[in-house]
Structure 1
Amino acid sequence: MLENIGLIVASFTAIYGVNEWRRQLKGRREYELAEEVLTLVYDCRDRLRSIRSPFSHTGEGSTRKADTNETPEQTELLNRAYIVFERYEQHREVFAELFALRYRFMAVFGKEAAEPLEKLRQSLNEVFVSANMLPTYWLRQGRVQMGEEEFERHLKEMHEHESVFWGTFSERDHFNEKIEGLVSEIESVCSKIIRPEPVWQRCRELMARRDNG
């Protein structure tokens, strides 16, 4: 009987040890993933600011392959819009590394938690869309005769694309505010794993909820 009890105790001890090892392994993997994603998000945020910087130097955008039928004016405007693509190439690997993790992030933390990463990818694409659209507006500006209503629509759409294409310093940058909001959402998910709140604080919150009803 004692041998049987000893065997049962040993079995339970072994099972508990395996389960505890699995919990620790799972916790370590979650921590490493959260830390890696959050670090890359901070890095990509700063790189996106650099890509959208309104300051450029001579020769930026000139790596674009120009069409033989372009006028010098067209080449200048098209090269100006190409600057963001040229800059992105310098940072492509970091963005690719972050976006490649979003499916793993989704599998570990849930689909809802990974949505800000997808929105961040979509926001980067918005910059590229605006870069492709702006030369058309710039080339029409002051060169194509338009009615008052059409001209107002033209200006509105052009300014909307420019607000995505260029970052600003003298006024509110709504695109950057959106990016900061997405960063905060990702930070909120990752911080719960990287910097969990103290047990005493959690207990106090639970007690407060109980007292409030």
Structure 2
Amino acid sequence: MDAVVIWDRVPAVIAGIRDIIVAGAAVSTATVGWKALNKWRDETVGKRRLEVAEDTLSAFYQVQEVIYDARAPFIAASEMVKEEGVPDDVVRDSAYGPIRRLRQSFEHIRDLRTKRHRFAALFGREATKPWDEIEAVLNEMNAASEAILSLRGQNIPPRDPQAQFIREQRQILARRLEDDPIVPRVDTAVKEIEAICRPVIRAWGRS
């Protein structure tokens, strides 16, 4: 090939190489940017999951403690104080004591309830089943208290047909050393939420 012809084509070749280099640099920059964006997004979601996991697990621990304390078998006389809108005979009934304790710690129960939907958004609706068990326990405690109070359970003799029912309701309201109907259920709910939250917390080196 004539040297002049080759020399004439050099600028076009150089321009082509330059375009390839520029295009390659653009692709490389875009790739790096995309990876950085994905990393930022993953870290942001990860930090949100960590925050929600820590807050939720803490809230479950608090409510577990609230329920445990509310079911303390002994009701002190100092707890049987008058309350506006509550009859004196109800205030003095031991079946009312656990419900009063729950109400006094209601901010912890409400806090746990408010966390459910955000938890579902990050971990899925199936992950919120532990809330159902806690709500079931709280509902059963309220129902047991109302049943005893409405049936005047303090005055039912042992041989009365309703005596066994009243005993079962009292077992819901007060802790037992053996065959407790509430503690294992609450503990299981906490373990289930731990199984979801603890790996997230560990992944960020928090525990």
Whether the 8 Å contact between 2:133 and 2:185 is mirrored in structure 1 is no
The one-letter code matched in structure 1 to 2:176 is T
Specify whether residues 5 and 76 from structure 1 end up closer, same or farther in structure 2 by C-alpha distance, changes over 3 A only: closer
Whether the 8 Å contact between 2:71 and 2:174 is mirrored in structure 1 is yes
Q: State how far apart, in whole Å, the 1-side matches of 2:91 and 2:63 are.
A: 27
Matched positions, count = 183
Does 2:43 match 1:35? no
Match of 2:102 in 1: 88
Whether the 8 Å contact between 1:102 and 1:118 is mirrored in structure 2 is no
Structure exhibiting the larger radius of gyration computed from Cα positions:
2
Match of 1:164 in 2: 172
Matches within 5 A, 1:96-175: 96-135=110-149, 136-138=151-153, 141-142=156-157, 151-152=160-161, 154-169=162-177, 171-175=178-182
Does 2:40 match 1:21? yes
Match of 1:194 in 2: 201
Q: State how far apart, in whole Å, the 1-side matches of 2:186 and 2:28 are.
A: 55
**Ranges in structure 1 where 5+ consecutive residues have no aligned partner:** 197-213
Match of 1:9 in 2: 28
- The alpha carbon displacement at 1:23 in A equals 0.3
**Cα deviations by residue, 1:41-86 (Å, 9 ceiling, x for unpaired):** 112111111111111211424334345xx8xxxx167642221232
Q: In angstroms, what is the RMSD of aligned CA positions?
A: 2.3
Whether the 8 Å contact between 1:31 and 1:193 is mirrored in structure 2 is yes
Q: State how far apart, in whole Å, the 1-side matches of 2:73 and 2:39 are.
A: 53
